[in-house]
Amino acid sequence: MNKEIMAQEIESLIRTLDFIQEEQTFIKRKLSDFLDQMVLNDALAWAEVLHQEILNRETAIQLLKGDISKLKSMLKKRTINNEVEPENVVLFKKYKQQVGYIESEFITWKHLANEQFEATPN
């Protein structure tokens, strides 16, 4: 795989994870507003579950971003004739798949969270 192409793809993966983090921050703010306005038992239980899901996803994103950043550093240091070593290509494909999974799961989760916020009377 070409070094420049992989470098661009890595930047894209990092941007995707940054976007998810920004969107989660938005959901956190909505959750905070939600809790300020309503504290029923069912709503509180749902809010706690939602908060734990946010924390779990944030941990996964941070770990994956760290791994991708390490790969990015290795890419800058170790290339021969502008080609990426096969083991780094394998890592890249693995990280790309993981980002795709997180992104797909996040979109579904965000939609469900927003539906719950909209369905709850203020």
Segment 48-70, tens digit of pLDDT: 899 999 999 999 999 999 999 99
Q: Is the pLDDT score of 115 beyond 70?
A: yes
Q: Is the pLDDT score of 120 beyond 80?
A: no
Res. 16 pLDDT band, cuts 50 70 90: very high
Q: Is the pLDDT score of 32 beyond 80?
A: yes
The structural domains of the chain, with segments of one domain joined by +, span 3-119
Q: Is the pLDDT score of 39 beyond 90?
A: no
Give the C-alpha separation, 88 to 1, whole Å.
Answer: 9
Give the C-alpha separation, 20 to 16, whole Å.
Answer: 6
Q: For residue 43, what pLDDT is reported?
A: 77
What DSSP state is assigned to residue 120? S
Q: Is the pLDDT score of 122 beyond 70?
A: no
Residue 50 to residues 57, 65, 91, 109, 116: CA-CA distances in angstroms? 11, 22, 31, 10, 11
Residue 55 to residues 49, 52, 88, 110: CA-CA distances in angstroms? 10, 5, 29, 14
Single-letter code of the amino acid located at 55:
L
Architecture field, domain 3-119: Up-down Bundle (1.20)
H-only helix segments in 38-85: 41-77
Q: Which of 5-14, 39-48, 54-63, 113-122 has the lowest mean pLDDT?
A: 39-48
Contacts of residue 67, Cβ cutoff 8 Å, sequence gap at least 6: 91, 95
The three-state secondary structure class of 83 is: strand
